[in-house]
Amino acid sequence: MRFLLLSLMLSGCAYAVRATGSLQREGDALIVASTNGKSRPLELNGPSAALARLDGYTVELEGVTHKGAIRVTSWRVLEGLHGMSVWVGSVARTEHGIALDDAENHVRLTLKGDGADVLWDEIGRAVLIEGFIDGTLQVQVVDSIPLDGP
């Protein structure tokens, strides 16, 4: 088994990989820097392209190796820049205001506060919300980042 793994690694074949760390820019490249000091460049495409907007965020990535980089196939954000909880999903209008359809937990969160007021122009778009729980399925928004579009 060890020989098989070693031969796959040496032959340049793609293999599954999981990485956790902080997203950082190194020139034009985006890397994930882990707590053990190792860093790996990322190859983004499709849904993973949103990671390019999350410099400094702590993430967990899954993907396959490709030319020394991780070709990201799935990801989730673990912690925001302000050390608060984060949610990723689509902004929705409700009869009571504005909400986030949380993609990971499959729930609709009511968004509150001044940080939520800036999201009216983001209806239907994917965003990252950073904030804190302020009641049952309610989030006080501290910061947000659009993850798609211009």
pLDDT digits (tens, 9 = 90+) for 25-45: 998 899 999 888 889 999 998
Least confident of 4-13, 15-24, 45-54, 82-91: 4-13
Q: What percent of the chain has pLDDT over 90?
A: 71
Q: What is the pLDDT of residue 21?
A: 95
Domain that holds residue 109: 85-146
pTM beyond 0.85: the answer is no
> Are residue 10 and residue 71 in the same domain, yes or no?
yes
Judge whether 140 and 112 are in contact, CB under 8 Å.
Answer: yes
Q: Which of 60, 78, 96 is the last residue of a domain?
A: 78
> Are residue 111 and residue 142 in the same domain, yes or no?
yes
Q: Which of 78, 113, 138 is the last residue of a domain?
A: 78
Judge whether 40 and 69 are in contact, CB under 8 Å.
Answer: yes
Domain count within the chain: 2
CATH number reported for the structural domain that contains residue 61 in this entry: 2.40.50.200
| Burial 81-102, CB ≥16 within 10 A → b, else e | eeeebbbbbbbbeeeeebbbeb
